[in-house]
Amino acid sequence: MNDAPIGIFDSGVGGLTVARAVSQLLPRESIHYIGDTAHSPYGPKPIADVRRYALEVLDVLVSEGVKMLVIACNTASAAMLRDARERYDVPVVEVIGPAVRTAISTTRNGRIGVIGTVGTIGSRAYQDMLEVNERLTVLARACPRFVEFVEAGVTDTAEVLAVAEEYLAPLRDADVDTLVLGCTHYPFLEGAISYVMGPDVSLVSSDTETAKDVYRQLVSRELLAGTGARPQHVYEATGDSADDFIRLADRLIGRGVSAVRLVQTGAIDLPKGTP
């Protein structure tokens, strides 16, 4: 048994979907969440910058004693998962693998759509994992404005629906029957996404699948919190306004985030040859 917190990291508020799913599945676990709001969004940034920002935040979580790291950001997972697993002694869970496994088991016609940030789609992290299976046809599309909408707290307007139609119509018309929401911000837009794709398309959300992976890892490593554990949830952000984070979190998940601490991350030394 281990009552240390689970460290969850995202570029902003999107990872709160993962934190919420982990808390629902593992209510005795403490959570330490950091949103790198000073550098959000990660999607359009160069991969070297994303890697540096992400490792700086993970360094903070590890220094504060977490028992597991959850990279609740698809762009960061694609950019630096191997670095994180080599750098830290605690187990590292990411959001891409769990969603891929679920998509493969869900599709009926073998046509899977993937949506994500420019960085995630450009990395081909999802495409490469899915296309190993020769029976699958994978169609991927970047949806950069989706993160902008969520970070602004705008999730249910006519403009959101119009942008969703623009992004998703090619995937719908290509007859995908399963759509991977390859960004933890996207579940906040699930209403618009589901409406555009239609009732016959299954949506695979990385938040719930990642929470299941967290559960499996904790059980297999005997790291579950004890029966007498008193869970605490700590939220931190790297930006300059805790109030903005709280207001946005309250609008999006409606509970749980009553206080946010501001933290600073420091420069790190990456291995020689790192791009």
Cα–Cα distance, 212 to 218 (Å, whole number): 10
Query: In angstroms, what CA-CA distances link 22 with 32, 108, 127, 155, 215?
Result: 12, 28, 26, 23, 8
pLDDT above 90: residue 265: no
Q: Catalytic site residues?
A: 73, 183
CA distances from 54 to 41, 72, 168, 172, 183 (A): 12, 11, 29, 33, 15
Strand order of the sheet with strand 178-181?
137-142, 111-116, 178-181, 202-205
For the cut 60, the answer to whether the pLDDT of residue 274 exceeds it is no
Is it the case that residue 270 has pLDDT exceeding 50? no
Correct CATH for 6-94+208-262 of 3.70.10.10, 3.40.50.1860, 3.40.1360.10, 3.90.1150.10? 3.40.50.1860
Q: Is the pLDDT of residue 271 over 50?
A: no
| Residue ranges in the chain assigned as alpha helix (H) | 16-25, 47-63, 74-87, 96-106, 118-123, 125-130, 144-151, 158-173, 190-197, 206-220, 242-253
The amino acid occupying position 169 is A
In DSSP terms, which residues pair with 7 in a beta bridge? Answer: 32, 69
pLDDT confidence bin for 267, thresholds 50/70/90: very low
Per-residue pLDDT at 258: 75
CATH number for the segment(s) 96-207 = 3.40.50.1860
Give residue 254's pLDDT: 65
| pLDDT for the residue numbered 256 | 64
pLDDT of residue 201: 98
Prediction pTM value: 0.86
